[in-house]
């Protein structure tokens, strides 16, 4: 555990102050509403069911809101941006952000401040999860609720470690509230064993929650879906396929694809059938969300919109590679939903612009764009289907792989009102061709959802894919891991350099 995060949290406990973000669970309180229960003494905390709920909600807080200083939540504005820039997906033009330029151009090293932020916010969240997992069992409370809250905390810890081990490789595996300040790193295999153990326990979570009281919470479906992705990453094809099928064949089946790709990003469909696990933003009722708007639109929508529409705060800091836009067939519904290439002027004319990403902008619900209350989709049902297709293909079950790959393909034929006779199904393909088709469909399906770098690394295609989209930019073998931040290595001599 890096020193700043651990010392900060220990000092909070020793001085008797705990920032209980999770007290928002019972209703959406605004940030500036002062509540004396936000600060409680160590002696009084972890004694009631409300304390336990607050402890777990505080983990969710580290996924979305800006928590302290310049550090944003995991899915607010760092993790998914880095995964897009360090691939063939996104370019950077954010002023004063050389760390993001370095990610996009593969010139980053261990001094990169964006990677330092990702490292620190993940370990801060892991620390809060560890404390909840360790202390909640001793609380005298309803046993079912206690088990559920521990399961949620273990799911979140697994998610955070899954992000980190894929990005940085061998890292400290911190599992208790009290750990050495300079811990040894754990082998990658040991970290994955812990991730799997946490997710297997989290599989006992509820399938769903009462309406208005559970959007954004981890479920058994989320645990199974993440476990399937873990097995896929480990090339454990049989278990990846089996776990994905458990979700697909669930008899209480509440998951599914919306007919229209655009519906997956509609504000009104937050927490709907395609959302296996999402991170909530804004003020919508009944969700594990806090006061911060998401930054998807601020970062991705073109600056040309600013000034066209009152109140718009579109900056266009990250934008797609032209090659990404070009791989979409013209009548692929996902292209029209994902990108914006024209601005409607107030005089009725249009102005053509280079492609930007608009998929998160529900212009009916949020006409002013900018900050958004749209959820960030960590795992969509489409990911479950494509996980199964990939695992089945690696098991030489090509017919099954094509069936589920073509479910995604079929949805892309829907033009908003009807299914068109376009984008024909994939047929008569061998295993290698199916493997390429799945990677291509994942690329088009999950633009700016934080998957692309991980997909290229998992499939060993980072070095070949990036130069096609970014001529002159060539990743090296070391870019299959990110460098552990130098500031952390200065604090802990056990941390490896990762080849940087």
Q: Read off the tokens for 283.
A: 């003020």
Among 142, 185, 135, 131, smallest CA distance to 8 is for 131
Grouping H, G, I as helix, E, B as strand and the rest as coil, residue 138 is helix
- Across the strands, what pairs with 287? 215
pLDDT in tens, the chain (500 residues): 444 444 433 433 332 223 333 322 222 222 222 333 333 444 567 899 999 999 999 999 899 875 544 457 899 989 999 999 999 999 999 999 999 999 999 999 999 999 999 999 999 999 999 999 999 999 999 999 999 999 999 999 999 999 999 999 999 999 998 888 899 999 999 999 999 999 999 999 999 988 766 778 999 999 999 999 999 999 999 999 999 999 999 988 789 999 999 999 999 998 899 999 999 876 544 444 444 678 899 999 999 988 777 778 899 999 999 999 999 999 999 999 999 999 888 788 899 999 999 999 998 888 877 778 888 999 999 999 999 999 999 999 999 999 999 999 999 999 989 999 889 999 999 999 999 999 999 999 999 999 999 999 999 999 999 999 999 999 999 999 999 999 999 999 999 999 99
What pTM does this model have? Answer: 0.91
Q: How many CA atoms lie within 13 A of 200 on its CB side?
A: 8
| C-alpha to C-alpha distance for 191 and 351, rounded to whole angstroms | 51
Question: Which helix (DSSP H) or strand (DSSP E) does residue 91 occupy?
Answer: strand 90-92
Tell me the CA distances in angstroms from 309 to 298, 306, 314, one per residue in order: 14, 6, 10
Q: How many CA atoms lie within 13 A of 445 on its CB side?
A: 29
Q: Read off the tokens for 286.
A: 């009944």
Task: Report how far Cα 121 is from the mean position of its chain's Cα atoms.
Answer: 14
| C-alpha to C-alpha distance for 87 and 105, rounded to whole angstroms | 9
- Dihedrals phi, psi of 398, to nearest 5 degrees: -65, -35
Strand duo 339-344 + 376-380: pairing: unpaired
Among 17, 5, 14, smallest CA distance to 181 is for 5
Residue 444 region, left (φ>0) first, then alpha (ψ -120 to 50), else beta? Answer: alpha
- Dihedrals phi, psi of 375, to nearest 5 degrees: -65, 155
Residue 279 burial (10 A CB sphere; 0-12, 13-18, 19+): buried
| C-alpha to C-alpha distance for 281 and 63, rounded to whole angstroms | 10
Task: Report how far Cα 374 is from the mean position of its chain's Cα atoms.
Answer: 13
b vs e for 424-459, b when ≥16 Cβ sit within 10 Å of the residue's Cβ? eebeebeeeebbebbbebbbbbbbbbbbbbbbbbbb
Among 300, 216, 265, smallest CA distance to 445 is for 265
């Amino acid at each position: 555990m890096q020193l700043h995060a651990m010392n900060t949290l220990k000092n909070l406990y020793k001085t008797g102050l705990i920032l209980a973000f999770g007290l928002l669970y019972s209703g959406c309180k605004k940030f500036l509403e002062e509540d004396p229960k936000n600060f409680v003494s160590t002696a009084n905390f972890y004694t009631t069911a409300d304390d336990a709920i607050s402890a777990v909600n505080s983990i969710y807080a580290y996924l979305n809101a800006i928590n302290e200083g310049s550090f944003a939540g995991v899915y607010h504005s760092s993790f998914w941006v880095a995964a897009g820039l360090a691939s063939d997906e996104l370019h950077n033009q954010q002023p004063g952000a050389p760390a993001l330029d370095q990610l996009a151009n593969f010139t980053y090293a261990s001094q990169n401040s964006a990677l330092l932020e990702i490292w620190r916010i993940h370990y801060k969240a892991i620390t809060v999860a560890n404390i909840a997992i360790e202390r909640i069992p001793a609380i005298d409370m309803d046993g079912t609720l206690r088990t559920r809250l521990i399961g949620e905390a273990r799911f979140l810890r697994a998610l955070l470690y899954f992000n980190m081990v894929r990005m940085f490789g061998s890292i400290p595996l911190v599992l208790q509230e009290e750990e050495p300040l300079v811990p040894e790193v754990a082998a990658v295999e040991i970290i994955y064993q812990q991730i799997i153990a946490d997710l297997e326990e989290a599989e006992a979570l509820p399938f769903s929650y009462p309406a208005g009281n559970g959007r954004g919470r981890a479920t058994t479906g989320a645990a199974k879906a993440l476990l399937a992705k873990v097995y896929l990453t480990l090339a454990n094809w049989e278990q990846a396929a089996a776990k994905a099928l458990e979700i697909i064949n669930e008899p209480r089946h509440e998951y599914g694809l919306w007919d229209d790709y655009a519906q997956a990003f509609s504000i009104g469909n937050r927490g709907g059938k395609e959302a296996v696990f999402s991170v909530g933003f804004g003020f919508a009722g009944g969700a594990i969300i806090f006061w911060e708007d998401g930054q998807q639109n601020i970062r991705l929508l073109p600056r040309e919109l600013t000034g066209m529409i009152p109140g718009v705060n579109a900056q266009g800091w990250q934008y797609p590679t032209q090659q990404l836009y070009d791989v979409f067939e013209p009548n692929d519904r996902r292209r029209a939903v994902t990108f914006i290439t024209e601005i409607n002027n107030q005089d009725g004319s249009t102005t053509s612009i280079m492609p930007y990403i608009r998929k998160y902008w529900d212009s009916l619900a949020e006409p002013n764009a900018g900050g958004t209350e749209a959820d960030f989709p960590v795992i969509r049902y489409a990911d479950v289907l494509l996980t199964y297709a990939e695992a089945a293909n690696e098991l030489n079950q090509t017919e099954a792989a094509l069936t589920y790959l073509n479910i995604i393909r079929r949805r892309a034929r829907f033009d908003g009102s009807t299914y068109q006779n376009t984008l024909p199904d994939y047929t008569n393909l061998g295993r290698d061709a199916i493997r390429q088709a799945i990677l291509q469909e994942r690329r088009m399906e999950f633009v700016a959802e934080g998957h692309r770098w991980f997909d290229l690394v998992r499939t060993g295609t980072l070095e070949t894919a990036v130069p096609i989209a970014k001529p002159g930019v060539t990743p090296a073998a070391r870019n299959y891991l990110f460098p552990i931040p130098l500031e952390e290595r200065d604090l802990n001599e056990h941390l490896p350099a990762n080849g940087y």
